Structure 1
Amino acid sequence: MPSAAPPPPEAFEVFGSALERACQFAEILATDGVQRGLIGPREAPRLWDRHLLNCAVVADLLPEAGELVDIGSGAGLPGVVLAMLRPGIRVVLLEPMLRRSAFLEECLARLDLPNATVVRGRAEDMAGVIRADIATARAVAPLDRLAGWAAGLLRPGGEILAIKGQSAEQELAAARPVLSRLRVRSAEVLRVGQGRVVPATTVVRVVIGGHGREEQPGAHRSRRGVA
């Protein structure tokens, strides 16, 4: 069975004191994650640059405390990574599929992450049950659909941090009618981790009503969407 590659130099800065846990998680993903179909075999050699570091820099946008829900958590990207880096945040890994939920439960036990829990369910069904400050998602759904799901899980003034690829600007433009109906306070594309990881992570940040937090350091604002 293959094992994870050693961490690249930038991982030492990005993960800091959480690097040991990150290495453990990389090993779990490269072995059990691949074997159980949560990670593709071709992804194992590039877990660090394509997955772990890509998710880790999103912690730059998080406060030190609060509640976060990771929608469609899957293999725990980014939810497990963010739980490592922000121990003061209570993280809910929301995942509808049984085999993925079971994998996440095992990850939390092996990594000893008491600030994270797994909830098996769909975002649509958890509206009003989960009330978080921040909702994260990676490769779950187009932004218009994701925003509708996340809005039901967030308190007023809550934020969506959606990790996206090259189509982020187009997704934001396409989602504007939905975002307007949700009465969002702001929406923008951010490049996070510039100068620390290559490539920087693209995040669409949406604030749902209320009053958003102050702008966080470490992110380059690419474009204002709706306001």
Structure 2
Amino acid sequence: MPLNAMLERGLSELGSTAGCGQRERLLQFLELLRRWNRVYSLTAIEDPREGVRLHLLDSLSIASFLYGERVLDVGTGPGLPGIPLAIMQPDRRFVLLDCNAKKIRFVRQAVIELGLVNVVPVQARVESFTDPAGFDCVLARAYASLAEIWADASRLLKTGGSVLALKGRRPETELGDLPAGVAVGIHRLRVPGVDAERHLAELRPTGQDS
């Protein structure tokens, strides 16, 4: 099956509607990542078909959970899930954060080539990153435990904001390590063509002392 048809079918299974230009940008991003990966080793995934499933569709499986205007993608790596989400949700503003220079260099080039005016790449560690405006959503793609992600990211939330942490298996053992004052919702994700488990942990402050 051609990549475009594979992507279109996957988007349909996710209940997502994409214009022709958005699908072209998603595949352009995948091709750009493939070319840069030859030199910079940005990802272990080399097969374009696997890239559609594990980069594009996996990223977009959380699209319906985003809200508000400003989104921070912590540990974005080569722009995942931030760039696919920014392509599909042009009305939101995305800050893509990573401490790895070569990965942020790639993200900057991808933003230029894809014409993404709603994306700002930043090279910094999350522990030292500040933003006075705050974020409605902070995305974290399983770079640490839930407690560590919450400790790093919760201070960056606007009032009413949430941390969205992507995990594989349901993170039962990590839930007990969260501090008091954190409300947790666990959502099972279905990624077209991917049999492995995917879950999203939605963390919100309850207003209690932690």
Structure-1-length-normalised TM-score: 0.78
Q: In the alignment, what sits opposite 1:54?
A: 58
Equivalent position amino acid for 1:92 in 2: V
Q: Hey, what's the Cα distance between the residues in 1 that align with 2:156 and 2:147?
A: 15
Q: Hey, what's the Cα distance between the residues in 1 that align with 2:17 and 2:33?
A: 17
Secondary structure, aligned partner of 2:128:
helix
Q: Hey, what's the Cα distance between the residues in 2 that align with 1:95 and 1:21?
A: 22
Q: In the alignment, what sits opposite 1:190?
A: 187
Secondary structure, aligned partner of 2:56:
helix
Equivalent position amino acid for 1:56 in 2: L
The answer to whether the 8 Å contact 1:12/1:19 transfers is no
The answer to whether the 8 Å contact 1:69/1:93 transfers is yes
User: Could you list the runs of 4 or more consecutive aligned residues of structure 1 that deviate by over 3 angstroms after TM superposition?
Assistant: 41-45, 127-130, 196-201
Structure-2-length-normalised TM-score: 0.84
User: Which of 93, 97, 110 is the matching residue for 1:94?
Assistant: 97
State percent identity of aligned pairs. 28
Is 1:170 aligned to residue 173 of structure 2? Answer: yes
Q: In the alignment, what sits opposite 2:30?
A: 26
Is 1:16 aligned to residue 18 of structure 2? Answer: yes
User: Which of 100, 104, 107 is the matching residue for 2:107?
Assistant: 104
TM-aligned CA deviation for residue 25 of structure 1:
0.9
Q: How many corresponding residue pairs?
A: 198
Equivalent position amino acid for 1:169 in 2: E
Secondary structure, aligned partner of 2:73:
strand
* Structure 2: 5+ residue stretches without partners: none
Distance change (3 Å), C-alpha of 1:143 and 1:34: farther
The answer to whether the 8 Å contact 1:190/1:203 transfers is yes
User: Which of 88, 95, 118 is the matching residue for 1:115?
Assistant: 118
Distance change (3 Å), C-alpha of 1:120 and 1:209: farther
Distance change (3 Å), C-alpha of 1:128 and 1:28: closer
Deviations along 1:99-143, one digit per CA (max 9) or x if unpaired, are: 111111001001111001011111111245461110001131111
Q: Hey, what's the Cα distance between the residues in 1 that align with 2:133 and 2:73?
A: 11
TM-aligned CA deviation for residue 30 of structure 1:
1.8
Distance change (3 Å), C-alpha of 1:168 and 1:35: farther
The answer to whether the 8 Å contact 1:158/1:209 transfers is no
Is 1:136 aligned to residue 133 of structure 2? Answer: no
More deviation, 127-136/51-60: 127-136
Secondary structure, aligned partner of 1:20:
helix
CA RMSD of aligned residues (A): 2.3
